[in-house]
Structure 1
């Protein structure tokens, strides 16, 4: 019996970091926020890397989820968190014209045909855009 308790405790301890880093982003993708309000808490909770893995010419910054975190959006795994906000130190400016004063979203693993119905069913006005096979962007440009 003692051994069973030890094994259960060990499994619980091993699983707890992964569980503590799981987060569904559905509510934040209602397109009623700003890039700063969306991304700053994810940085603060150390759920995404603090430096963007890529900056598009239109200034959209792509942040990778940290190893061990599990971010989802509308039931799909998040590949990247994206955003830009003018005059905000979190974001680097690209070489071209910024996409907007503020814009944010996620890139998920899933077909756009499967993602869009879930986004609409949740009441989000986000743009759903095919990026590549089985890769879809869910993007908000409030304003």
Structure 2
């Protein structure tokens, strides 16, 4: 399986930073909803920074970001990675994409969590390539 570092380079303005959830996500979500609603979004992903794996890109020139992260509650029988976008003008949206799902009760059955994550990361990178044509 290809690793994320084996993909073609992204435009220089987008930086990969997977170490922790950027504060930008919490700020953008709170702007669109209340802090209470934001804390519940994606099973607390943006408040607790506990769920892994994630992939994240940041564009400091535009104050924009893109995130691949689990978007379903850990108790659900089907887990899914979502792609979230914080555009330059503010706001927060989920990118509609192919479902990047796996079944935790069947960890060896394809698609596995790793396969779902890698597919979501590849789709997110394609999104960034296209997005650069518009910003």
Shared topology, TM-score over 0.5? Answer: no
Bin the TM-score by the shorter chain: under 0.3
Q: Which has the higher helix share?
A: 2
